[in-house]
Amino acid sequence: MMITPVLLCGGSGTRLWPISRKSYPKQFVPLTGEKSLFTASAERLSGPDYAPPVVVTGSDFRFIVTEQLMQAGVDPGAILIEPEGRNTAPAVLAATLHVAAQDLDALILVAPSDHAISDPAAFRAAVARGVPAAQAGRIVTFGITPTHPETGYGWLELAGAAGTDPVPLTRFVEKPDAARAEAMLAAGNYLWNAGIFLFSARSMLAAFTAHAPDLLPPVRAALEQARPDLGFLRLDPGAWSKAASISIDYAVMERAGNLSVVAYDAGWNDLGGWDAVAREMGADAAGVSTAGAVTAIDCAQTLLRSDSEGVELVGIGLSNIIAVAMNDAVLVADRTRAQDVKQAVEILRAKGAKQAEAFPRDHRPWGWFETLALADRFQVKRIVVHPGAALSLQSHFHRSEHWIVVSGTARVTIDDTVQLVTENQSVYIPLGAKHRMENPGRVPMVLIEVQTGAYLGEDDIVRYEDVYSRGQGAKG
């Protein structure tokens, strides 16, 4: 029987700031290799035993999802757009109802899209071991064989020792203190909770009916009243807002009596903090993990990472330190305080720092841009447009623009005039003119944009035509 993966793709990943931010969270970032966590998840859950995935994500990420799926060669079965984040229970229920409409007995594998799994084949083998139990009406969760007394994870207590076959779950254990974690590690019948579940659509709908019936009417209505938008399915905002914001663990899993656990021990990391990223990256003999343009001198048990072009990070005599540098923000923390990065983001947000949520590169369906200089009445951007892509036909109330092509060729529309602008050529867009840029070539087109005006915010956009069917506003 085919398994339908459901990839949960929300969240902001604030514990991995500044690399992960609300506008571009960790699942889309290549944290431990060349591929993003989302891309690796989609590839891992594809093949002859898997149906096209169902993705549940937010509107701002919809084009990032499709771009990364295309790069991975994975064609999605559906991409459900949440009007707002309501935690994992409504997301899982919406995906289950969507799959159940086609086959009530379909097997569904729910997985976060921001975990690192180093052995995809071993993971798929673990999933296969859980299939008979799921077909028999069990809800199967996957527990990670613990390697140390981790206090940052929830744990699973098994009815017996973990083996190759599914074992009944006794109970969920909340994140423990250090002493409790040591005891569970020594006991041998506890696993880390990975938040990955395998079940039939019929079994999960029965579980929601029994344990979280109040979620069914609003989520079902949100799906029934969903609006197709290009290749996406937008859940109805009014109905969705009536669904309680609650995790799948609290809503269903901790109350259900038909749970079994499959143990997995071939390499897993939820990358829930910079300490976890350092473990996944590996380290030298002194315990130093490095990435990007960094230099470590007499350092130990330290993570040094530079994620911006032209930013050199140097550590001298550091011990037990996390240092992450970008062109607009730098994190320096004691390694034992990795979980407190989330608190720092909250403080930055409270004082209005744009770095709290906005990523330096703003990703759009046509490519991306970044600000190189910003001051009173002017802004300089680098804009990269994918081959064959086009920005919307738009105008601005408060700014004019000057475009200089530095690589490739741009097809530029200004009111009734259409022209090709090639490398080292420039064009001026007056205030209020309807304009558009397109990349007619086969390589990325790069240009420098100089904006001048009284207001330079991204919301100063009036769209007239858009191949991506976006509405008004910064991202539409």
Compute mean pLDDT per 10 residues along the chain, 476 residues long, and list them.
Answer: 92 88 91 90 94 94 92 91 95 97 96 92 95 96 91 87 84 89 89 94 97 98 94 95 95 93 90 90 94 96 93 97 96 94 95 92 92 93 96 95 97 96 96 96 96 91 90 70
- Prior bond of 440 cis (ω within 30°): no
Q: Count, in order, helices (H) and strands (E) of the chain.
A: 11, 30
pLDDT at 230: 83
Q: Count other C-beta atoms under 10 Å from residue 164's C-beta.
A: 10
CB 63 within 8 A of CB 23: no
- Residue 306's identity, in one-letter code, is S
* Residues pairing with 167 in the sheet: 261
pLDDT at 474: 66
- Tokens 């997301």, residue located: 91
- Using CA atoms, how far residue 367 sits from 18, 91, 220, 354, 476, in Å, is 21, 28, 35, 21, 15
Record the tokens describing residue 106, joined without a space: 């379909």
Q: What is the DSSP string of 176-220?
A: P-HHHHHHHHHHSSEEEEEEEEEEEHHHHHHHHHHH-GGGHHHHH
Q: Count other C-beta atoms under 10 Å from residue 476's C-beta.
A: 16
How many residues would you count in the chain?
476
Round to whole Å and give the CA distance between 456 and 447. 18
In 210-233, which positions are buried (b, 16+ CB within 10 angstroms) versus exposed (e)? ebbeebeebbbbbbeebeebeebb
CB 92 within 8 A of CB 248: yes
pLDDT at 206: 97
Record the tokens describing residue 382, joined without a space: 């680098």
Q: Count other C-beta atoms under 10 Å from residue 128's C-beta.
A: 13
Helix/strand/coil (H/E/C) assignment for every residue in 406-446: EECCEEEEECCEEEEECCCCEEEECCCCCEEEECCCCCCEE
- Tokens 């001048």, residue located: 452
* Region for 440 from its dihedrals, namely left if φ exceeds 0, alpha if ψ lies in -120 to 50, beta otherwise: alpha
Record the tokens describing residue 148, joined without a space: 């140390």
Round to whole Å and give the CA distance between 73 and 257. 39
Name the packing angle between helices 88-100 and 201-211 (round to 10°): 130
End-to-end CA distance of the chain: 39
CB 143 within 8 A of CB 154: no
pLDDT at 261: 93
CB 401 within 8 A of CB 380: no
- Residue 361's identity, in one-letter code, is R
pLDDT at 476: 58
Round to whole Å and give the CA distance between 8 and 115. 11
- Using CA atoms, how far residue 164 sits from 7, 144, 158, 325, 409, in Å, is 25, 13, 13, 43, 57
Element of type H or E holding 456? none
Q: Count other C-beta atoms under 10 Å from residue 152's C-beta.
A: 16
- Using CA atoms, how far residue 215 sits from 100, 101, 111, 242, 278, in Å, is 16, 17, 20, 8, 39
Q: Which residues contact 66 (CB under 8 A, 6 or more apart)?
A: 76, 79, 231, 365
Q: What is the DSSP string of 291-346?
A: ESSEEEES-BS-EEEE-STT--EEEES-BSEEEEE-SS-EEEEEGGGGGGHHHHHH
| Cα–Cα nearest to 290, from 267, 266, 312 | 312
